[in-house]
Amino acid sequence: MYAIVEIAGQQFKVEEGKKIFVHRLEAKAGETVHFDKVLLLDNDGQVTVGEPVVQDIIVEGTVLDDKARGDKVIVFKKKRKKGYRVKNGHRQNFTQIEVLHIGAKDAPRKERAKEVTRKAEVVSEETAEETKPVEKKAATKKSAAKKTETKEKKSASGKGEIKAAAEKKSAKKTTKSTKK
C-alpha cells in the first residue's frame, strides 16, 4: 500500500514504515503529524485517484528529526571578461518523518507508533548531548611564556637588522657629503 501525499507544497510517495525528508515543518521531534491532502491511494492494486484529493484518507507519521540539514550546494555566478564572480553556499533545512499509518481517519492504528515515539525521544536526547559545548583546556603558563619570548626575539632581531642597515646608509651618505 502506498499513497501520493502533498506535504509542504511538494508531492511525496509514502509507504508505511518508510522514512522521508520533507521541507522544514513546525513540528518538534517525537510529535505526531497528520496529512490529509492524499492525491492518490494504491491499496494492493486497487488505485483511487482524488479529484483533487481522496476523501476521508489520511497519512499519519511521527517526526524523527526536526533539525536535519541537506548537503551543501555551491552557487557560483560569473560573467566572462568582466571580473564578476560571486560564490555562495546553501544548506536546506529538512524534517525527517517516519510514516506510521495510511488509511481512513478512524481506522485502527498499529502499536508501532509507540515504539517510534520512544526512538524519536532517544534520538532527540542524543542530539542534545552532542550540541553541548566542549570545555577547552587552558594553556599552561610555560607554553604562553615561551611563545612571548620567541615573539620578542623575532621582533628584536628584525628591528635590529633594519636599524643596522639604516645606519650603514646614513654613514655612507655622510662620508660622501664630507668628501665633496
Write out pLDDT tens, residues 155-179.
Answer: 555 556 666 666 776 676 666 656 5
Q: What is the pLDDT of residue 17?
A: 93
Q: What is the pLDDT of residue 175?
A: 60
Residues whose CB is less than 8 angstroms from the CB of residue 92 and which lie 6 or more positions away in sequence, other chains included: 23, 69, 70, 73
Q: What is the pLDDT of residue 153?
A: 60
Q: What is the pLDDT of residue 142?
A: 59
Q: What is the pLDDT of residue 44?
A: 87
Listed by start position, the domains of the chain span 2-130, 140-171
Burial 50-71 (b: 16+ CB within 10 A, else e): eeeebeebbbbbbbbbbeeeee
Q: What is the pLDDT of residue 155?
A: 59
Sites in the chain below the pLDDT cut of 50: none
Q: What is the pLDDT of residue 108?
A: 72
The DSSP bridge pattern shows strands 84-104 and 32-35 to be unpaired
What is the rounded CA–CA span in Å between residue 134 and residue 156?
Answer: 38
pTM of the model: 0.56
